[in-house]
Amino acid sequence: MSARILMVASGKGGTGKSTVSVLLGGRLAAAGKKVLLIELDSGLRSVDIISGVYGKTVYDISDVLSGRCEGDKAVVESPVYKGLSVISAPYEGGEVRPEALRRLIGRMAPYFDFILVDTAAGLGAPFQAARTVSDMALLVLTPDPVTLRDGRIAADELVNGGCKNVRLVVNRVGPASFGGAVRDLDECIDTVAAQLIAVIPESAEIQHSAAQGMALPAGCLAFKALDNLARRLLGEQLALAVRW
Ligand SMILES: Nc1ncnc2c1ncn2[C@@H]1O[C@H](COP(=O)(O)OP(=O)(O)OP(=O)(O)O)[C@@H](O)[C@H]1O
Ligand SMILES: [Mg+2]
């Protein structure tokens, strides 16, 4: 086994990277894949809450990247999404050096089918380190002009750095998303210049389950959208679950 490495990025903050990372990891795990999710952020961590590992973490990613412990010591199984393992971000601090991340990924890759690297907002050290180790980048963007423009800057940075697989996930799509400042999904695709791989609806179920560290209820539209994203990554040809 040698894991596929997917980085999750956005440019602008707060677009749903961490939420999508956990929920996607949960659906890949439900499909029988072994999944490790690394949150490469510090200070603004949220993966621990969404995945239900909050309070169970002894070591975090900064302990691993600074050499204070081996990667396996920092891995915690999500009690919410079976088969999803998590390395959380620290409350604060921690340098992200590409060589240290590469070493960690090299050590963990034989044990997993997928490693998801949830990066911080912006194009700083977490983004730069993640792109040196990733096979694919998922840009999780909300359908508003500023986020899409920042997403394009992130996409260009990835492509110019040699990443051939940049995919667009449009998140938080609702009835009022289009027809105004952003015309439609095509405009999102054209602005970012990346292939669309998923459309995830604005979802009260996501908000509630993420805040409580509970499983996203099967049967809601967001669950279906995340499941389709996982299955597309696994090679299935599916129509986008676009309905809102
Ligand atoms: N599809 C959705 N429907 C409703 N709420 C959502 C959806 N996706 C994300 N959210 C909410 O948006 C907020 C930000 O999400 P999240 O923390 O995942 O963003 P982020 O991109 O990781 O942020 P940061 O840049 O700070 O790391 C959270 O409150 C989350 O519950
Ligand atoms: Mg985040």
Q: Say yes or no to pLDDT of 241 above 80.
A: no
- C-alpha to C-alpha distance for 61 and 15, rounded to whole angstroms: 22
Ligand 1, atom 25: closest residue by C-alpha: 13
- Kindly give the distance from the C-alpha atom of residue 181 to the centroid of ligand 2, in angstroms, as a whole number: 25
What's the rounded mean pLDDT across residues 30-46?
91
Any ligand 1 atom below 6 A from CB of 206: yes
Domain hosting 32: range is 4-233
The number of distinct structural domains making up the chain is: 1
Asked if residue 52 belongs to a domain, the reply is yes
Asked if residue 243 belongs to a domain, the reply is no
First to last CA, the chain: 38
Q: Say yes or no to pLDDT of 169 above 80.
A: yes
What's the rounded mean pLDDT across residues 145-153?
98
Asked if residue 239 belongs to a domain, the reply is no
* Tens digit of each residue's pLDDT (9 = 90 or more) over 65-123: 999 999 999 999 999 999 999 999 988 877 899 999 999 999 999 999 999 999 999 99
pLDDT at 244: 59
pLDDT at 1: 72
pLDDT at 196: 97
Ligand 1, atom 26: closest residue by C-alpha: 14
- Cα–Cα separations (whole angstroms), residue 103 to 70, 97, 99, 114, 129: 10, 10, 6, 16, 11
Any ligand 1 atom below 6 A from CB of 210: yes
Asked if residue 78 belongs to a domain, the reply is yes
Any ligand 1 atom below 6 A from CB of 14: yes
Asked if residue 244 belongs to a domain, the reply is no
Asked if residue 196 belongs to a domain, the reply is yes
Residue carrying the six token digits 């992200």: 96
* Tens digit of each residue's pLDDT (9 = 90 or more) over 182-233: 999 999 999 999 999 999 999 999 999 999 999 999 999 999 999 999 999 9
Ligand nearest to the CA of 150: 1
Asked if residue 238 belongs to a domain, the reply is no
Any ligand 1 atom below 6 A from CB of 45: no
- Cα–Cα separations (whole angstroms), residue 207 to 10, 42, 144, 201: 19, 22, 19, 11
- Kindly give the distance from the C-alpha atom of residue 13 to the centroid of ligand 1, in angstroms, as a whole number: 9
- Percent of the chain scored above 70 by pLDDT? 98
- Percent of the chain scored above 90 by pLDDT? 90
Instruction: Give the dihedral of Cα atoms 205, 218, 38, 167; nearest 10 deg.
Output: -90
| CATH of residue 96 | 3.40.50.300
Helices assigned H by DSSP within the chain: 17-30, 47-50, 61-65, 98-108, 125-133, 145-160, 185-192, 204-212, 221-233
Average pLDDT over the chain reads 94
Any ligand 1 atom below 6 A from CB of 203: yes
Residue 212 CB contacts under 8 Å (≥ 6 apart), including other chains: none
Give the position, in ligand 1's atom list, of the atom nearest the Cα of 202.
3
